[in-house]
Amino acid sequence: MSDSPCSLAIPTQAWLSASGLPVGWRGRSSFTVCDTAFGAGHRFISTWSTWRSDANRSERLHYVGFCPADVNPAGDPWLFASDDEAACHEALRVAQSVYAPLPGVSRLDFEGGAVTLTLFHMPLWKALMQAEARVDHYFVDAMLATVGAQTGGYSPYGQLARMAAREASVALPAVDVSSDLGKGLKKAGFIVPTASGDLAEVCVARLRPGIFHGAHLAFPEQGRALSVAPVMVIGGGIAGAAVAWAFASRGRKVDIIDPAFSRSAQGVHAGHLAAAATPVVSRDDDYRARLTRSGVRLAWQRWQALAADARPLQTGTLGLAGDADEVDRVRAALEGGGFPAGWARWQTSLTASLAAAVPLSVPGVLFADGLLIRPGALIAALTSSPLVRRISAAGHRLERADDGGWLLRSAGDHVLAQAATVVVANAAGVVPLLQRSGLLDRAPRLRQLQAIAGQVSYFDTQRTAANPNVVIDGPGYWLPSVDGVNVAGGTYALGAETPAVTQAGHDDIIEKLGAFLSAETIQRLPDAVVGGWSGWRAVVPGRLPVVGELLGANGVWVACAYGSRGLSWAALAAEIIAASVCCEPLPLERELLMAIAPGKR
């Protein structure tokens, strides 16, 4: 959707001037704008440029845009009001070309993360229903009045009120004050100025005092100290390390607690050479596919700032189809998914072999976003910020502190850490810890959590003579060489008392690889084994992660049950939690947030 004709006729500076910007964001830790007619992004570019040039700007600027069609930043530099606007336009164009928008929600960062752009690639009525943000200012036009019949009885104006911060304002074309747009805003609780005879092109409505729907989500402005308060993370695996990084990147101090830090900064993943983060597709674009697609993309974007040895490598992933039925399902998903060109391409067994540089016997789909990751190095890097303190200890239970926050105590009743915000991310350990804390009833989805042991195997690359260019994901997985070793996986040992690397595990993995690697390669593998790594997976029925705040336990969050997709979901889950706590727009649809919430039954 492009801007409405009336909206396009109004200069972007007129929108900002009428909206009281830049004055409105001065002295604020953050300021959030929502544009219901994002179009080519002209208002975003002007808002960003104005923010950049304001010495007293807010620390962060968050911009949410609703755009049913792909964003295609238009216009030559001479169309913009300044060289700075032209530079912002070029930065947006480059970002959109590097990170081609995927169906759903996309998040782009600028200015080192101080400016975020969250785009909802879906019809306007759906974006209104699915967005979650605390909005200080809206840009709207008459298109909003056309979607009422599509929202299932929910008022589009009511959705604006749902997301509105205290004292939120709405900029709209002055000609629409007396139209359905103005009337709808007034009915939803906004004070809309009466039509006047002046020459103003834009007028501003304001949320009526006393009408505020998000008290539990909002940061009180008087509590600015809370916005920089330390955060406690229990669990130093992939989930916990990602959360620590997300908060530290926002300037928050973090205590991350895990007994495995006594052995290594890599925690429980010390010695885990390589793993993968891989998108999936499904014919009905189910929750798992959508979460994984968003999670892998965010992992690639967020973790690019890490040191080279910890940074994900975008090798691509070849997801293999096991039989004719799966071939049909995958091809149907690709044809109807609306994915950008090049994100996922079907491969015959011949073209798959060429892409992987190893002989393969089955077809599949090549995902450009597939990542090769060193888990141990990743954890060490994610927790290496000066703002992050690793604590080598085992948390036993949480209890309320006198100040309303939370204390973490050891089994010996010593206080290990204290914070207003706690993220429990210790995989299978989350259940006993919450149970001892009297909080397990707040998380119904965790009652059936299972811990499943498993191993990966290491093969000498020279002896295998089958080093792929891409991650290969089939019944088992086969990874490009890291430090002269090809990593393959994995096993699932239900009921195991402890994870271990075993010969039976190596044999199981080699058998799985036989479904797609050549017979000659499989014959070489037994003599190429040089070790392995073992650990735990935590899963719940439905195989979706459990991420969110515990109902009735203000400040306690969980991030767990990632199963075999920890690297695919960790960055997304961390962003959801950190953005929620810091009152930022969330990078995921509300229906997906509800699907992974711990309180969902």
Q: Are both 510 and 559 inside the same structural domain?
A: no
**Calpha distance 416→418 (Å, rounded):** 7
Query: Is 338 a member of any domain?
Result: yes
Q: Are both 121 and 35 inside the same structural domain?
A: yes
- Residue 406 and residue 555 in contact, taking contact as beta carbons nearer than 8 Å: yes
Q: What is the pLDDT of residues 450-493, one digit of tens each?
A: 999 999 999 999 999 999 999 999 999 999 999 999 999 999 99
Q: Say how many domains are in the chain.
A: 3
The CATH number assigned to the domain holding 9 equals 3.40.50.150
pLDDT band at 323 (very low <50, low <70, confident <90, very high): confident
The CATH number assigned to the domain holding 327 equals 3.30.9.10
**Calpha distance 156→95 (Å, rounded):** 30
pTM score, whole prediction: 0.95
Q: Which residue has the higher pLDDT, 206 or 151?
A: 206
Q: Are both 500 and 483 inside the same structural domain?
A: yes
- Containing domain of residue 189, as a range? 5-207
Q: Residue 575: which H helix or E strand, with range? A: helix 566-581
Pick from 477, 455, 468, 476: which is nearest to 531 by CA? 455
Give exposure, 30-44, as e/b (b: 16+ Cβ within 10 Å): bbbbbbbbbbbbbbb
Q: Where are the beta strands (DSSP E) in 358-449?
A: 364-367, 371-373, 388-391, 397-400, 406-409, 415-419, 421-424
Pairing of strands 485-489, 275-277: unpaired
Query: Is 360 a member of any domain?
Result: yes
Q: What is the pLDDT of residues 208-239, one digit of tens each?
A: 998 876 644 444 443 444 557 899 999 999 99
Q: Are both 561 and 520 inside the same structural domain?
A: no
pLDDT at 159 over 90: yes
Q: Are both 187 and 108 inside the same structural domain?
A: yes
Q: Are both 92 and 141 inside the same structural domain?
A: yes
Q: Are both 467 and 553 inside the same structural domain?
A: no
pLDDT at 520 over 80: yes
pLDDT at 151 over 80: no
Tokens representing 63 are 């911009």
Query: Is 288 a member of any domain?
Result: no
Q: Are both 155 and 254 inside the same structural domain?
A: no
Query: Is 418 a member of any domain?
Result: yes
Domain boundary among 539, 554, 577: 539
Q: Are both 524 and 387 inside the same structural domain?
A: no
Among the ranges given (97-101, 110-114, 361-365, 567-571), the one the predictor scored with the smallest mean pLDDT: 97-101
**What pLDDT shows up at residue 53?**
96
**Calpha distance 539→239 (Å, rounded):** 13
Q: Which residue has the higher pLDDT, 113 or 146?
A: 113
Distances in Å between the Cα of 224 and the Cα atoms of 29, 281, 313, 582 are 8, 42, 38, 11
**What pLDDT shows up at residue 3?**
46
**Calpha distance 136→218 (Å, rounded):** 11
Query: Is 289 a member of any domain?
Result: no
**What pLDDT shows up at residue 601?**
52
- Segment 109-134 shows an average pLDDT of 96
pLDDT at 337 over 60: yes
Q: What is the pLDDT of residues 8-20, one digit of tens each?
A: 578 888 999 999 9
Query: Is 126 a member of any domain?
Result: yes
**What pLDDT shows up at residue 218?**
42
Domain boundary among 493, 509, 539: 539
Q: Are both 503 and 585 inside the same structural domain?
A: no
Q: Are both 168 and 235 inside the same structural domain?
A: no
Q: Are both 125 and 258 inside the same structural domain?
A: no
Query: Is 283 a member of any domain?
Result: no
- Segment 486-501 shows an average pLDDT of 94
Task: Map 88-157 to HEC letters.
Answer: HHHHHHHHHHHCCCCCEEEEEEEHHHCEEEEEEECCHHHHHHHCCCCEEEEECCHHHHHCHHHCCCCCHH
Reduced to 3 states (helix: H, G, I; strand: E, B; else coil), residue 34 is strand
**Calpha distance 568→292 (Å, rounded):** 6
**What pLDDT shows up at residue 480?**
99
The CATH number assigned to the domain holding 556 equals 3.50.50.60
For the chain, the average pLDDT equals: 92
- Residue 535 and residue 452 in contact, taking contact as beta carbons nearer than 8 Å: no
pLDDT at 379 over 50: yes
**Biggest CA-to-CA distance, the chain:** 87
- Residue 32 and residue 132 in contact, taking contact as beta carbons nearer than 8 Å: no
- Segment 188-202 shows an average pLDDT of 82
Query: Is 98 a member of any domain?
Result: yes
Reduced to 3 states (helix: H, G, I; strand: E, B; else coil), residue 239 is helix
**Calpha distance 482→456 (Å, rounded):** 14
Q: Which amino acid is at 254?
A: V
Burial class (CB in 10 A: 0-12, 13-18, 19+), 361: middle
**Calpha distance 113→47 (Å, rounded):** 16
pLDDT band at 5 (very low <50, low <70, confident <90, very high): very low
